[in-house]
Structure 1
């Protein structure tokens, strides 16, 4: 007889609470938010065949499933407290559950974040995917009134991003070609090895998000590509933005592959702006905060790059104005660029 739901929970998803008063094993979990703080809540669903390959390494999948939620908490400057996990499994594999829970709970411990409940059920596989669905709801806390929202950008503010952009999108494109049977060149294979961790094991910028409280005027995390995500800030803040494409932070593997393939520069911009899965932070801040941000970048050990500025809204819809001195010919391709669309 196979394992039933409660055996799965007890065997793989139960551990002593790190900070919750009551975690897995009762009808509800109990946890406290520090006095003077607000509770921040976010939820993300990952579906096999849409968000990940059905045969992806289970340990990295467990890591990413939690990481994308912690990235949302980071985007509001929140400290993680706990999370719930709901799994729809097509079948029970104890080896898969051990690896998945290992990746998930290792990241949870790194951020002192309890698994406090959830649900498991059997799913039905289809031609499109193997039936695996993962849903996580994460809870965090942020000092009352200190959350960094999307509606705080002001005309004249700088636009900043953390880390590098486009690595996950490039890795995904190379993986899709490899899985289709295409033989990658030596340069492409090296780039895939270097960039694949950015796709499968993103690291949420929790410390950076907390450090930006009182510094950033607005913020979000880049899950669907800067070209699309930044428009959410513009819509909420009633502004437009100018983006300097020459300033976009590109990793060495991405730049080197672009040079190796003799691609125009705007090909790398496309990955950086529209690919998604970066899970870096994009934020705005007053010009007066530049020195503060330079010191903050060194303190948290995360590169920060100024890529544009907020400008007055010109029309009814938010608009992104692309700028480049190094490759102005590439701008003609960019007028309709948007981020990843789950229903495209």
Structure 2
């Protein structure tokens, strides 16, 4: 099977929203009047972002999900995406499963593949996603103000628990690993929540490298500080462990590490003024997404961590960095 046969068989579909899609030198896309184009790009590399034996259907899902999560953090509506795919060989079964997983998620968000590139080489997936947002309404990192609440969607830390278990660092009972692994390999992009937060949230981003490291981007861009109640960031998997009587497998410091610096959550972290609490809860309900208030923005620089009693948590949590020493 040649390169262009592969593209036509697994990745070429009729366009619905684009003016021109796969098969030409450039795709053509026109956002609606009064709209701004939101663009993001993410790369997934085997051995760095996913295991070699990962289910290709799940990998197709995640490859697009991590990009849609960026659009969600901007409050944008997905339009289309491009795919650059490096494959060690043209494996038909793998391509079929990968494309099915990717297109299934794309269909959920009415987001179509409009072009890209394929080449032979180590497995590497690079997607560029395009969305639209009403002019002047995009959620940014720079709008947080002193007194704002800090919120997160969903649950944090489950993906890190799964990763550590799969690497043999911190084993999990099989039932818990199955649940946590789903969070690692098939994250849910919070697109509907991001759109519902337009005009409500003052800043937002998606949590990909760990809550504290990512939140710091908001603090830097907005020129503010923050206080986080670490008792409010417990991963969902820990609740399952409690129900099964397996809470002994988790210690408090380890849970904090997973939730505050674990990464691969692809949840939204956002800020909003206290008077918007009802609006935030309504946005969560309208998008069927749990939201939790975990702290507040402070005027002075710095990031403080406290426990449920308001006592300082003295610990260092380093979020993921590809090039950290």
Distance 1:323-1:255 versus aligned 2 partners, 3 A rule:
farther
Instruction: Please give the alpha-carbon distance, in whole angstroms, between the structure 2 residues aligned to 1:326 and 1:266.
Output: 16
Distance in 2 (alpha carbons) for counterparts of 1:47 and 1:190: 28
Q: Are 2:153 and 1:153 equivalent residues in the alignment? A: no
**How far, CA to CA, are the matches of 1:269 and 1:224 in structure 2?**
15
Counterpart of 2:197? 212
Contact 1:255–1:268 (Cα < 8 Å) also in 2: no
Deviates more, 1:233-242 or 1:292-301: 292-301
- Displacement of 1:195: 1.2
2:60 aligned residue: 62
| Structure 2 residue runs without a partner (length 5+) | none
Q: What is the match of residue 339 of structure 1?
A: 319
> Aligned ranges for residues 1-344 of structure 1 at < 5 Å?
3-123=1-121, 131-177=122-168, 184=171, 188-253=173-238, 256=241, 260-261=247-248, 263-314=250-301, 319-325=302-308, 331-332=313-314, 334=315, 336-344=316-324
Contact kept? 1:74, 1:204, Cα under 8 Å: yes
Partner of 1:126: none
Shift of 1:260: 2.9
Per-residue CA deviation, residues 122-145 of structure 1 (Å, 9 max, x unaligned), is: 11xxxxxxx101000000000000
Structure 1: gaps (5+ residues): 124-130
Note the alpha carbon deviations across 1:152-210, whole angstroms, 9 max, x for none. 000000000000110100011111119xxx9x5xx621210111110000010000000
User: What is the distance in 1 between the residues matched to 2:296 and 2:310?
Assistant: 19
How many residue pairs get aligned? The number is 322
Distance 1:99 1:262 in 2: 35
Q: Which runs of 4+ in 1 moved over 2 A?
A: 252-255, 257-264, 325-329
- Give TM-score, length-normalised by structure 1: 0.90
Q: Report the more deviating stretch, 292-301 or 61-70.
A: 292-301
| 8 Å Cα contact 1:249/1:305 also seen in 2 | no
Q: CA RMSD in A?
A: 1.8
SS of the equivalent of 1:177 reads: coil
Where 1:121 maps in the other structure, the secondary structure is strand
Distance 2:138 2:200 in 1: 11
Superimposed CA distance per residue, residues 99-125 of structure 1 (whole angstroms, 9 cap, x where no aligned partner): 0011011111110001000000011xx
Q: CA deviation at 1:52?
A: 0.4
CA drift of 1:328 comes to: 5.2
